[in-house]
């Protein structure tokens, strides 16, 4: 192998290495996005199954004391303004 061939090989390897370094973050991002999309899709499917099998409560829901207090404070602020 002559000196020119060696230099050409080193140049091609360096160019290929730079290309890999530039493309690698994009590939990693695409793989991560696909994984997140798959997890979200599985969670939505599981949620749909849970909603179908979930029993409704016979008790009526009553707002907590904190909710009553917050509503009173909001209405007082509107009157005072």
Give the pLDDT score at 1.
Answer: 85
Each residue's pLDDT tens digit, 20-56 = 999 999 999 999 999 999 999 999 988 777 766 666 5
With residue 35 as reference, give the H or E element that holds it. Answer: helix 3-53
d(CA 1, CA 12): 15
The b/e string for 3-28 (b: 16+ C-beta within 10 A; e otherwise) is: eeeeeeeeeeeeeeeeeeeeeeeeee
Q: Does the predicted model carry a pTM greater than 0.75? A: no
Helix, coil or strand: residue 2: coil
For residues 14 and 71, which has the higher predicted lDDT (pLDDT)?
A: 14
């Amino acid at each position: 192998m002559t000196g020119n061939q060696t230099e050409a090989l080193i140049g091609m390897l360096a160019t290929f290495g730079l290309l890999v370094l530039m493309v690698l973050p994009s590939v990693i991002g695409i793989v991560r996005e696909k994984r997140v999309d798959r997890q979200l899709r599985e969670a939505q499917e599981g949620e749909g199954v849970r909603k179908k099998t979930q029993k409704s409560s016979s008790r009526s829901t009553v707002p907590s004391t904190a909710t009553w207090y917050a509503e009173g404070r909001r209405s007082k602020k509107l009157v005072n303004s």
